[in-house]
Amino acid sequence: MFFSIVIPFRDTIKNITNCLDSIKNQNFHDYEVYLIDDGSSVDLKKYIIKKYKKTKLIVNKSNRGVSYSRNKGILKSKGKYIVFIDSDDLLSENFLSNVYKKLKNNKYDFLYIDSKNSKTNKINFNFIDKQNKDKFFLKKITNFENFKIHSWNYIIRSNIVKKKLFLNNLKFYEDQVFISNILLKKYKSAYLKNTHIIRNDENPNSLGRSIGVDVINTSIFCLNYFQSLKYKSKTAKDFIISRINFYLKEILKNLFFLNDTQIEKIKHTLIKILNQKKYKIHLEKKFKLIKNYKQRILNDNSKYAVIYCFGQLGRIVFNFVRHKYKKLYIIDNNPSFNGRIIQNQMIYCHKDFIKRIKIKQKFTLYVCHENLKMQSKIIQKFNNKENNLDSIKFNFF
C-alpha cells in the first residue's frame, strides 16, 4: 500500500461524499482511506461502505477531537505515506499519481503541496521559496512569523508520523505542534507544484482561527512546549522563536475575554514560562496596551460602528462590542462571505458597503486586519469618503 488517506469527520454527508468522490476519481489506486467519525449524527455506514470500497470507517464513541481521530487513523494505516485531508476538502485531479511520481524515485521523507481556494481557484499563498533546493525545509521558508502551518499541505512518510503522533490533549493548534516537530528535524523534503488540496472556505462559521478562553489556555500549553525545545542550529532556534511569538499574539488578542484580575494572572504565568528580561519588558508593554484598547472601546460614545475584516481578531472585537452600539456593520472582502449572515450580521464587501450604507452620524471603525500596512490603507479608504470617522487599529504584534 502506497498511500493512507486519513480524514476526520464531523460534518455534513454532502461534504464527505464530495471529498471521497475526489479520491475515488483519482487515476492512481494504490491507496486506502481511513474515515474517522468523531461523534457525528450521520449514519456513515449507510452512505459509505458500498460506494467507497477502499474506505474503512472508524467510529469514536463520543466527540474526541481532530488529534485523537487522526491518531486512530494513523495507527491503523498500512500505507508508506500518509495524506491528511479534511472532510469538506478535495484532492485535485491526478493528485495521487503526481505525488507518487515525485516520491517513487526519490527518498523524500515528506512533500509540501499547495492548497487552493475552491471558490476563487487561487493558490493560498505561503512564505516558501519554491526555487530553493535545500532539503532542510525550514531553509525554504522566507518568513517564519507569517508562515502558515496546516497538516493537509504535507505528504509524510508513515514511519515518521507514527514516531510522533498528534497531541491528543490539544483542542486547537494540533497541526502547529505536529508539523513543527517534523520541520525541525532534518528530513529530506521537496516542494511539488501543480498539485493541490482544494480547500472549501464556504462555511460562513469558519472565518479564521478559534477564539476565547480555551484558546488562551491551549496557547499557554503550546508556548510552554516550544520554550522547552532545544536545538543548536540558528534556523531551528529562529523557527521556535517564531512559534513562541505566534502563541503570544494569540494570547494577547484573546485577553478581551478576560477581566483585569484574570489578565494579570496570565501575565505572571507568561513571564514565569519565558523567564527572559526582553520578554518581560515586551509583555508589560503589550498588557498595558490591551487595557488601553479595552478602556478606549468602553469610553467610545459613538452609536454606530464598523468592524473591518472578520477573521479571528474581527470576531474577538465583535464579541466584545456587539451589544454596545445602536448599529454594528461588518466588512470582509473574502468573496466567499460577501452577503452572508454570520451571528445575525450581514457581511459586506467594501464596495457594497460604500454603495448601500450611508452613516450620517459619527461612527467608529475597528480595523481588524492583522497586517499593519493594510490597516493604514483601510483607514485611508474611509477617510477619502467619510469625515465623521473615529478609527481604532490594533497592534498586538
pLDDT single digits (tens) 259-318? 999 999 999 999 999 987 778 888 899 999 999 999 999 999 999 999 999 988 999 999
Residue type, 38: D
Cα 397 from Cα 371, distance rounded (Å): 9
Q: Within 77-186, where are the H helices? A: 95-104, 158-163, 174-183
In the chain, which residues have pLDDT < 70? 201-209, 384-387, 397
Residue 137's φ and ψ, nearest 5 degrees, are: -60, -35
In the three-class reduction of DSSP (H, G, I as helix; E, B as strand; rest coil), residue 309 is classed as coil
- Tell me the pLDDT tens digit for each residue of 229-256: 999 999 999 999 999 999 999 999 999 9
Predicted confidence at residue 280, as pLDDT, reads 84
What pLDDT score was predicted for residue 190?
93
Residue pair 25/94 in contact by the 8 Å Cβ criterion? no
**Per-residue model confidence (pLDDT) at position 201:** 63
pLDDT of res. 386: 54
CA dihedral angle for residue 140, residue 144, residue 146, residue 148, rounded to 10 degrees: 60
Instruction: Please report the beta strands in 122-271, taking only residues with DSSP state E, as ranges in sequence order.
Output: 154-157, 189-199
pLDDT at 161: 97
* Alpha-carbon distances of 244 from 140, 144, 350, rounded to whole Å: 20, 11, 34
* N- to C-terminal Cα separation, the chain: 46
DSSP3 helix / strand / coil % (the chain, rounded to 5): 40, 20, 40
CATH, range 3-199? 3.90.550.10
- Topology adopted by domain 301-393: Rossmann fold (3.40.50)
Spatial separation of the C-alpha atoms in residues 276 and 308, rounded to whole Å? 36
Distance CA 373, CA 387 (A): 21
Q: Which of 64, 76, 63, 1 is nearest to 35 (CA)?
A: 76
Report angle CA 57, 35, 152 to the nearest 5 degrees.
Answer: 165
The ranges assigned to domains in the chain are: 3-199, 213-297, 301-393
Q: What distance in Å separates the CA atoms of residue 73 and residue 166, rounded to the nearest whole number?
A: 11
Burial of 40 (0-12, 13-18, 19+ CB in 10 A): middle
| Under 8 Å between Cβ of 87 and 206 | no
